[in-house]
Amino acid sequence: MNAPPIIDLLGRLEAIVFEADANTLQVTYAAGGALGSLGFSAAECTGDARFLVKRLHPDDREQFLARLHAVADDGKERQLEHRMVSADGHERWFRSEMHFVPAEKQVLGVMIDVTDARRTAESLRTAESRLRQVINNAPVVLFALDSAGLITLSEGSALRKVGMQPGEAVGKDVFAVYPDPAAQAFLRRALAGEETVLQRRQGETWWETHVTPLFDDSGRVTGATGVSIDLTDRARAEEASAHSASLLRASLEATTDGILVVDSKGRMVDFNRRFAEMWNMPPDVLAARDDSRALEVAVGQLRDPDGFFAKVRALYAAPEAISHDVIELRDGRIFERDSRPQLVEGRSVGRVWSFRDVTVERRATRRATFLAAASKILAGPLEDVTPLDVIARMTVPWLCDWCNILILDDDGEVRSAAAYHHDASKIELLRKLQPDMRRHRSVAQVIHTGEPIVDNDIGADRLSGSLDNALPSVSTDEQLAILHALGMRARMAVPLHARGQIIGAMIFASSDPERHYDHDDLTLAADLAQRAALAIDNQRLYQSSKDAVAQRDEFLSVASHELRTPVTSLQLAVQSALALGRDAPPGFLHHALETAERQTRRLGRLVDALLDVTRVQAGRLELERAPTELGAIVREVVALLAADARRAGCEVHVDADGSVAGRWDRARIDQVVTNLLSNALKYGAGAAVHITVDKTEATARLVVRDQGIGVAASERGRIFERFERAVSAKHYGGLGLGLYIVRRIVDAHGGSVTVESTPGAGAQFIVELPLQ
């Protein structure tokens, strides 16, 4: 059967055309492609009186049937969108238009499948709603303008930051909304066709606005769209970051430590000025951040480069390790080195090295320790020079390569009391170093003036070659050769002071051309010298007190002998007289009495001499001046000592013709003459003694000359001291007081006494007394 063309067309439409009885609603006709989509045939529909009721979605069924009834009742067409259920249970949406056909009492319906259209509309709605949600929640402002500057769109949650609601500004003039001249200029540029970006601050908020002009096909600007982004948080973060960076930089520069930051490969990342200063880093190395050259510069200054490298390698092998150690530089500086990893989120990305110059503290500690140790050693035994040897040794090598402690002797020459050289084979050579004390330069100058000297950068040429170019303290080629062998590129010479006297000097010398003695070194050297001088002085005082005790013991022994001799003689005379009694030969008793009388006088003189010493010692030598004739005194003394002279076998010749008179203490001058004559008889070896008295214009002169053993040159100063004698007490008796008393009496008169002698050929003592 050939279907009419309209039916064929219906079959191709995604629709259903149906006729239903207006009263029963039984479908009397149904056709259309949508039937197939639902899984039915036209025959099924028309054959089933309840087809519509069954295939309508239960939720829409009542409404559909009500509309259909209404159309049948009043004949007015109606529309409805509803769902149908397909044969396999799916639902599809249809829009049904229902018309009444009065002639046939039928309702004609056309159901068009709108499922896909509805889905599209639904998804568009969903998309739009989501977009709006996005726009409304975006932390931005989206806007659009027409070519005149009227706002056609104003959305975005960021609007609230400026107190506006989305859409609120629509229809307003953008130039009225933003009166700020910078903003207006910016907007005008955009509306003139320029794509522009502006950052500006509004209230507490920073905005970045991008505006894109819109053009029509002819290239005319039809408006613009724009987006403003709130940059406040980013700006704050950047500001905070800049702040902490500047804080970090300021802290880096404020610290007294040198700081270097390197990455995990050891490349320089950052450093502070102090680091550059401490390591004397050349500016080009720093500018280039050239880590290999920086390392070269640093290592070149180290005492122990190998140890330094070992530590660096060990730390790079252990990225998490923290280390703290001390490094020494060749110029004497000492750094504490601290190294710790730079951690980012717990991961090591590099290493921070810090260097602290602790030279001053370390040196001070070392100095204090050194001086304490030195003091302890110097307080040790005084009997020998061992403590000074230890001190000299202690200074090597950290203060010098060699040290020499020089002591000034009585002749004005110096000798080495202790010497040490780091090369032990050179110590003996060092002891032979003898500064020329006549030159008043160098070491001699230190000893003469008490001012220390420091010499750095002593050229190697000054230790060899000609004497003219040599150091000023060197006066012979031999000394120059010694100095050359010892080595000396820097030195300090400090005086040894004791009780206001300079007793020597300490020399500290280094053969290292890089050694520079500074103020701290000199202070240490001076402190050490002070302690050494004190120890040396103590040793001398100890020795002199020991000598004094020995001298006193010897004096007591001599005094005892001197007293025993006359007492023995006296006792012998008395005891022999008593023993013999009447049996004594003729003249024996008389002789014994004479002896006794003489010995009594001798004892008296001894006692007087001892008392004189006490008086002179206590400064109580009082003179009773009266006109006194010197020649007369001499003659009297000679007469009194005639017996002694005879026993000594000495003839005494007096030459005192003219009158030599002055205001002197007669008894004391008598004592002077007596002592000098007694001495001449005692040491005169039995030869003639000559006494001369004469005067010059203002001075009286007494000369007592013998031809005996004489006085050695070295003894001439000493014999006028208390308890001294030029000869052994085992040979010659006497208290050793005679010349001492002579000198004190002559001194008290304002005169002088001297001795001239040729040992073995005699001595002459010359006393000069002022006449007035």
Partner 1 sequence: MGGSVMVVEDDEDIRADLVAILRVKGFQVSEANNGKDAIAQLRDGARPCLLVLDLMMPVMNGWELRAAMLADAALAAIPVVVVSGKGRITSDEEQTLAPAAVLVKPFELAELLELVGRYCPPREAASAGR
Residue whose CB is less far from partner 1, 11 or 733: 733
Q: In the bound complex, what is the minimum distance in angstroms from residue 601's beta carbon to partner 1?
A: 12
Tokens of 643: 């017996």
User: Nearer Cβ to partner 1, position 262 or 739?
Assistant: 739
In angstroms, give the least distance from the CB of 579 to partner 1: 6
Instruction: Supply the minimum distance, in Å, between the C-beta of residue 671 and partner 1.
Output: 23
As beta bridge partners, residue 496 has 504
Q: Which is nearer to partner 1, 301 or 569 (CB)?
A: 569
| Bridge partner residues of 15 (DSSP) | 112
Give least dist CB 634 to partner 1, A. Answer: 24
Q: Any idea what DSSP says for residue 103?
A: G
Q: Is 254 helix (H, G, I), strand (E, B) or coil?
A: helix
Burial 82-93 (b: 16+ CB within 10 A, else e): bbbbeeeeeebb
The C-alpha angle with vertex 112 and arms to 107 and 113, in degrees rounded to 5, equals 140
- Cα 162 to Cα 202: distance, rounded to the nearest angstrom: 8
- In the bound state with partner 1, the residue whose beta carbon lies nearer, of 316 and 732, is 732
The neighbour count for residue 57, using CB atoms within 10 Å, is 16
Structure tokens at 424: 């032990």
264: how many CB neighbours lie within 10 A of its CB? 14
Tokens of 95: 């829009």
- For 709-722, letters b (16+ CB in 10 Å) and e give bbbeeebeeebbeb
State the minimum distance, in angstroms, from the CB of residue 569 to partner 1: 4
Q: Which is nearer to partner 1, 61 or 591 (CB)?
A: 591
Least distance from partner 1 to the Cβ atom of residue 645, Å? 12
Of residues 268 and 558, the one with the C-beta less far from partner 1: 558
| CB of 500 closer than 8 Å to CB of 464 | no
For strands 689-695 and 652-655, give the pairing. parallel
Indicate the residue among 175 and 732 with the shorter CB distance to partner 1. 732
Q: How far does Cα 563 stand from its chain's mean position?
A: 73
Among candidates 599, 581, 621, which has minimal Cα distance to 743?
621
Find the shortest distance in angstroms from Cβ 716 to partner 1. Answer: 20
Residues 6 or more apart whose CB falls under 8 angstroms from that of 404 comprise 392, 416, 418, 419, 430, 431, 433, 506, 507, 509
Q: Closer CB to partner 1, residue 316 or residue 588?
A: 588
Helices (H) and strands (E) in the chain, counts: 24, 27
- Provide, rounded to whole angstroms, the least separation between the CB of residue 568 and partner 1: 4
C-beta of 734: minimal distance to partner 1 in Å? 10
Smallest gap from residue 441 Cβ to partner 1 (A): 50
First and final C-alpha spacing in the chain? 190
* Residue ranges in contact with partner 1 by CB under 8 A: 557-558, 560-561, 564-573, 575-576, 579-580, 583-585, 588, 591-592, 595, 598-599, 647, 728-733
Return the number of the residue (597 or 655) whose C-beta is nearest partner 1: 597
Measured from the CB atom, is 243 or 647 closer to partner 1? Answer: 647
| φ, ψ at 6 (rounded to 5°) | -65, -35
